[in-house]
Amino acid sequence: MFGFFKRRRRDRLRSTPLPTSWLAIIDKNLPMFERLTEADRRELQGHVQVFLAEKYFEGCGGLSLTDEIKVTIAAQACMLLLHRDTDYYPRLITILVYPSAYFASAIEPIGGGVVLHGEEVRLGEAWKSGVVVLSWDDVRSGVRDIHDGHNLVLHEFAHQLDMEDGAADGTPLLDQSSRHMTWARVLGREYDRLRRDSVLGRSTVLDKYGATDPAEFFAVATECFFENPAPLRRKHPELYEELKSFYRQDPLEFSTMDPGPRS
């Protein structure tokens, strides 16, 4: 019964026109929006309505939240949901937004059962407990250049997709169980390749931070897939195809098409 009312409420939200001021924010801060098809634009706007109605935003470090902050983050997060049967990041409850990079507690094992406690500077993080933390300065810099392969929101929300099954292991929920073997083979091989290239100092299309662990590899690959699709497909064709199948999108299509009329 609860599921029925949730679906009906979400259908109502998706059918509600986006406020003109919100649409202007998306036009301004999401360059890829104008290159989406008309149907995709409408779908994205509907997802943004649901996302903003269901998720709680909190400004930290003295940041005063604005519609621009919330809508810009929501629109990028919802790009990962297009064409997919989605429950809108069901584990996610709160998005904490700092004005810029922030300090967070860190624990580093140094061997022999000894760990170091301290603080480190972070741009963002995703927690299993239902929180995403973002630096607004870095959110803005990530959307200004859609071809640099770096996007903080796409990275942290890829982590949220990864953790929907309760594990941060680089394998999100796949629509078919038969796909797990191919996913593990392709992403495992590409992860190992990135680790080798990082050790040897080779130039890579993927950010070498992806060599940290499989979860970071999936998040980095997601950033590159949406922001640097042509080099990714050229250098890592099987990885590109796996991500295209998972996200049910081909960024090469909307990165080259002529923008249609805006809604």
pLDDT in tens, 162-210: 999 999 999 999 987 778 999 999 999 999 999 999 999 999 999 999 9
Of 49-63, 78-92, 138-152, 175-189, the one with minimum mean pLDDT is 138-152
Find the radius of gyration of the CA atoms of the chain.
19
Mean pLDDT (the chain, rounded):
89
Distance CA 138, CA 204 (A): 22
Supply the DSSP symbol for 128: T
First vs last C-alpha separation in the chain: 34
b/e 189-208 (16+ beta carbons within 10 angstroms → b): ebbebbbebbeeeeebbbbb
Q: Which two three-digit tokens encode residue 38? A: 């008309």
Fold (CATH) for 2-256: Collagenase (Catalytic Domain) (3.40.390)
Q: Angle at CA 157, nearest 5°, toward 152 and 82?
A: 110
Q: How confident is the model at residue 260 (pLDDT cuts 50, 70, 90)?
A: very low
Specify the 3-state DSSP secondary structure of 147: coil
Residue 263 has pLDDT above 50, yes or no: no
- Model confidence, pTM: 0.90
Residue 72: φ, ψ to 5°:
-60, -45
What stretches of 55-79 show up as alpha helix (H) in DSSP? Answer: 67-79
